[in-house]
Amino acid sequence: MWISTSIRDLNGTKITLRTSDTIIYNVSSMSGLVQDIDRYKIKITERRVQMNFDANISFPAGKWEILPKFKRNKDEIDKIDKILSDIISEDIFDLDSVVITSFASPEGIYNANRILSHKRAQSIKNHLYNTIDKFSQDLINVDIANYLSNKKTNSGKIESERIIIRSIPEDWDNLYFLIQRDTVIREKESILDTWKIANFDKREEHLKLYRKDYRYIKDSLYPKLRRVCFNLNLLRKGMVKDTIHTTELDTLYIKGLELLKKREYASSLAILNEYKDINTAIAHMSLGHDHTALQILEQTTESAKQIYLLAILYARKGLEEQAATYFLKSKELDIRMAYRGGLDPEISYLINKYNLNKDLFE
């Protein structure tokens, strides 16, 4: 009976075997040479942590009071309250300060927008006062009160001198960015050239000359400019030093080794590639990346496995004399490499051709 077949490796490479009544082939796995190495990494813990997020609070034209039922304000207000509530309840950080930056779009007179955006930022600040007051008992329980002033408003609510407000009356910088990225605006280059006009009021008047594009910009891009940015400055509880360095086990590297042992070479290499060690080289060799593997091994610490792998790579390059020399040296460092040689076709061929294991039988 004659057999005709082919073999396909994990990468999809296909080798058609010649027709024969017997198939003889060697099977070896580089995973048997994986070094079980515990790697550690330095974890840097900062006492001061910043948390940033945006909220799209909408205001009616010319108004600055927060209206929960206006557009999507309720969802945005709930988001703000939840973030602050989570910080309090998790009891990990103390709230050191909050910086609120209110942004507005360019329509209207700049001086009027400057006053309006400041009042809107103040409205957001007042909302935070109410939120802090709502959680005041929790704040005291978790010592955040240490970071808040005890000043009271006329209504008896706690105010924080650490809540800082800023305002950008007309967010021209972000508008420029949005127009650059937009694919609808027809006279984009001419419109962007308008930014050469230093006076903001004159700049917007000039922008209005592009009627159709301006209508689109006002309806589609201006609303994206009206937002509030929150910058929360937090302090890690119980931490005195500004920075703490700790050593911890590199669990990502361990996962890479597990994948390598399971012969999931591409997945393991995606993790191990940055480490440039013997296991990285094994992953490359298993995928046929011999040149890269050789470069890595030549830079790693000498060991029996490292020299043995070099023997395989030189054998693959057809440099039998160098391969034999490296194999014999690996045996000197660890006799187990002599027995391992029978499992890898590149080394097994050299052993048989040059009788490299004769000392085992003397």
CA 64 – CA 51 distance, rounded (Å)? 25
Q: Under DSSP, is residue 164 helix (H, G, I), strand (E, B) or coil?
A: strand
- What residue type is assigned to position 3 of the chain? I
Say which CATH superfamily domain 45-172+222-236 falls into: OmpA-like domain (3.30.1330.60)
Determine the length of the chain.
Answer: 362
* Cα 55 to the center of its chain, rounded Å: 23
Whether the Cβ atoms of residue 47 and residue 239 lie closer than 8 Å to each other: yes
| Amino acid 279: pLDDT | 95
The pLDDT value recorded for residue 273 is 95
Euclidean distance between CA atoms 9 and 13, whole angstroms: 5
Evaluate whether 309 touches 302 at the Cβ level (below 8 Å).
no
pLDDT at position 149, please? 41
Reported as a single tens digit per residue, the pLDDT across 175-193 is: 999 999 999 999 999 999 9
* Element holding 178 (H helix, E strand): helix 172-181
CA distances for 280 relative to 38, 157, 213, 285, 295, angstroms: 14, 61, 55, 9, 11
Structure-token pair, residue 229: 């940015």
**What single letter denotes the amino acid at residue 42?**
I
pLDDT under 70: residue ranges of the chain? 1-29, 135-161, 362
Fold of 30-37+250-361: 1.25.40
d(CA 355, CA 107): 88
Q: Token digits for 109?
A: 């007179």
pLDDT at 354: 92
Between β-strands 163-168 and 93-103, what pairing exists: parallel, antiparallel or unpaired?
Answer: parallel
Same topology between domain 30-37+250-361 and domain 45-172+222-236: no
- What are residue 48's DSSP bridge partners? 235
Q: Which residues contact 191 (CB under 8 A, 6 or more apart)?
A: 179, 185, 207, 210, 213, 217
Helix (H) or strand (E) holding 345: helix 345-354
Which of 304, 320, 351, 303 has its CA nearest to residue 359?
Answer: 351
pLDDT given for residue 2 in this prediction: 53
Predicted confidence at residue 88, as pLDDT, reads 73
Q: How confident is the model at residue 141, as a pLDDT?
A: 40
pTM above 0.75, yes or no: no
Map 207-258 to HEC letters: HCCCHHHHHHHHHHHHHHHCEEEEEEEEEECCCCCCEEEEEEECHHHHHHHH
Q: How many CB atoms lie within 10 A of CB 79?
A: 15
Can you give the residue ranges of every domain in the chain?
30-37+250-361, 45-172+222-236
Is the distance from CB of 275 to CB of 253 less than 8 angstroms?
yes
Can you give the pLDDT at residue 21? 54
- pLDDT, position 188: 94
